Chains A and B, each alone.
Chain A
């Protein structure tokens, strides 16, 4: 065999192995999707029904006839509010770190990174007591404010990087034209950092959308549950309604897949920026 033929064969083999591995990794998602469109009888067969014959949306219909729409709304409100407020706070802080070499800025920005290492189990008890004493349990605010903190470190660090990439001269030009500092941030720096803002936004949104631990603890009433807590509560029933659980999980995954699909490049950039550039 010639050398180039060997190389081509090796290349094909590489693709085959990689594709097989990827298929195995993604199979659980296929199985979730396939199971969600099966009837009760089709779920419990030996051997399993690998490709659903006559897929049905029955599980989804039942899901939305229950309390799921409320949970969906709760999750959406909390995640959107966390994203908007979190991005605002992070943008202001990141702007300060990026543009002003003020006293203590290094210590503070490093401190922000360490928050990632903060064990959540340590604060959950006192936080629960705090929200109880402020009668904020079972409110959106208890979750929004909590999620803000866990989104802030990464979003601030990401935005520092993106702001640093915008030349100061552009802001100065805007300020000579009569713009205030915050005006320059709003009209010049933010629009120029739009991809960065988008990456940061999905990061915070997904964090809030996926979170379970705090939501389980702070939301005791059934109608205040977020989607993850709601799905988990299906397991508490005497016999698990797998069709319902699968349909709920699919709905919970849709925004994640859409956002990640649109912005995966920025997401990866965000995930690695702290470790690789820093």
Chain B
């Protein structure tokens, strides 16, 4: 079959074709530049200036905002709470999600239904999750206390979200309930993508039960586990909504994670310069954590 002769002059045709994909990507890139790139650069710029929103001039103050922020006595505490919240949530979600994924990773009737039903906590609006758990944790009429009080392990009428000693663990528990389905879904999909022939071969070599899990399943899940743990770590570290809607960072700052601290400084106390310094610090720490983590995992996989 003979190709139709190009109607457009060759030179122009080539240029147009080269340009074409860029034109297609351009609208998306423009939005990204406006809503991510520009604000990010602007945020760093603000962090070096005095800014209270009301002020007309924004004098350059160098590292002043950073010094102020690091000197806030709360700062170390906020970091510690953030870390507890994030690691507690990630670990809880990973263990629970992994266990459920292993249980679901075999053919049985109704598996699809269970997988879908168990994913529901993850797709619900986080504010609804917060509402439900505030009600479950209600000191006097909450279901949690109704079920726990007969056990006699905790003081009666424990105010889980109102007590600084329990609030952080109470929000972590609610967050694990919300987040484990994500781990479950990812691990399950990863396990289903493993070629059954690898298991066959391992069985021929005499591997059984736990050995299959340790020597076949886990190594083959490395990429999925890496991606899932990064997404889960970042998602939890950034999670503003659940804590804000459950405790607003209280009582007495016991659940004040970094995003809430930043938000408060900016929008409650209008200390925009300081909040921007916090946010920039936050972004740098996050970037370093992800890089170190990704590198560590890649090195280990190369050793293996």
For A25, what are the chain B residues with a Cβ–Cβ distance below 8 Å?
Answer: 117-118, 120-121, 177
Query: B227 contacts the other chain (Cβ, under 8 Å)?
Result: yes
Q: Given A121-B279, A232-B245, A257-B120: A271 and B32 within 8 A (CB)? A: no
Complex CA distance for A125 and B25, rounded to whole angstroms: 27
Given known pairs A121-B238, A246-B131, A274-B227, the reply for A92 and B25 (CB within 8 Å) is: yes
Check A272 against B35 for contact (C-beta < 8 Å): no
Interface residues on A, range: 35 or more
Any A CB within 8 A of the CB of B28: yes
Chain B contact-residue range equals: 35 or more
A127 near B: Cβ within 8 Å? yes
Complex: A193 Cα to B207 Cα, angstroms? 42
Given known pairs A29-B132, A47-B146, A130-B42, the reply for A102 and B22 (CB within 8 Å) is yes
Docked complex: B38-85 residues within 8 A CB-CB of A: 38-40, 42-43, 46, 53
Q: Which residue of B lies closest to A35 (CB)?
A: B135
In the complex, the answer to whether A123 meets B43 with C-beta atoms within 8 Å is yes
Contacts A35-B135, A121-B258, A276-B224 given; indicate if A213 touches B240 (C-beta within 8 A).
yes
- Nearest neighbor of A152 in chain B, beta-carbon distance: B28
A77 interfacial contact with B, CB 8 Å: no
Q: Please tell me if the beta carbons of B21 and A31 are within 8 angstroms of each other in the complex.
A: no
Known: A122-B282, A217-B267. A271 touches B186 (CB 8 A): yes
Contacts of B185 in A (CB 8 A): 268, 271-272
Q: How far is the CB of A117 from chain B (nearest CB, A)?
A: 5
| Given the contacts A126-B43, A145-B31, A271-B186, A249 and B143 also touching, CB distance less than 8 Å | no
- Does any Cβ of A come within 8 Å of B125's Cβ? yes
Contact (Cβ within 8 A) B127 A228:
yes
Is there contact, CB below 8 Å, between A256 and B121? no
Q: Which single member of B103, B136, B193, B240 contacts A120 (CB below 8 Å)?
A: B240
Instruction: Say whether, besides A35-B135, A276-B190, A253 and B141 are in contact (CB < 8 Å).
Output: no
Stretch at the interface among A1-9, A55-63, A259-267: A259-267
Q: Is the CB of B123 within 8 A of A206?
A: yes
Q: Is B276 an interface residue (CB 8 A)?
A: yes
A149–B31 CB distance below 8 A? yes
Task: Count A-B contacts at CB 8 Å.
Answer: 258
* Contact assessment for A149 and B112 in the assembled complex, using a CB-CB cutoff below 8 Å: no
- Chain B: interface secondary structure? helix
Indicate if A81 sits at the interface (CB-CB under 8 A).
Answer: no
Asked if A32 meets B128 with Cβ closer than 8 Å, knowing A89-B27, A89-B31, A125-B279, the reply is: yes
Type the 1/0 row for B101-142, where 1 means its CB is closer than 8 Å to any CB of A: 001000010001011111111011111101111111000110
Q: Contact at B35–A275, with CB atoms within 8 Å?
A: no
Q: Are A246 and B43 in contact (CB under 8 A)?
A: no
Known contacts A22-B118, A92-B28, A256-B124, A28 near B136 by CB under 8 Å: yes
Chain B 1-24 interface 0/1 with A at a Cβ cutoff of 8 Å (1 = within): 000100000000000001011101
* Docked complex Cα distance between A22 and B118 (Å): 6
Contact A252-B120, Cβ < 8 Å, known A119-B234, A212-B245, A275-B227: no
What chain A residues lie within 8 Å of B259 (beta carbons)?
119-121, 213
- Docked CA distance A186–B237 (Å): 40
Instruction: Give CA–CA (A272, B240) in the complex, Å.
Output: 24
CB within 8 A of A108: which of B25, B34, B121, B244? Answer: B25
Q: Hey, which bits of chain B sit against chain A, CB under 8 A?
A: 4, 18, 20-22, 24-25, 27-29, 31-32, 34-36, 38-40, 42-43, 46, 53, 100, 103, 108, 112, 114-121, 123-128, 130-136, 140-141, 143, 146, 177, 182, 185-186, 189-190, 193, 223-224, 227-228, 230-231, 234, 237-238, 240-241, 244-245, 258-259, 262-263, 266-267, 272, 275-276, 279-280, 282-283, 286, 290
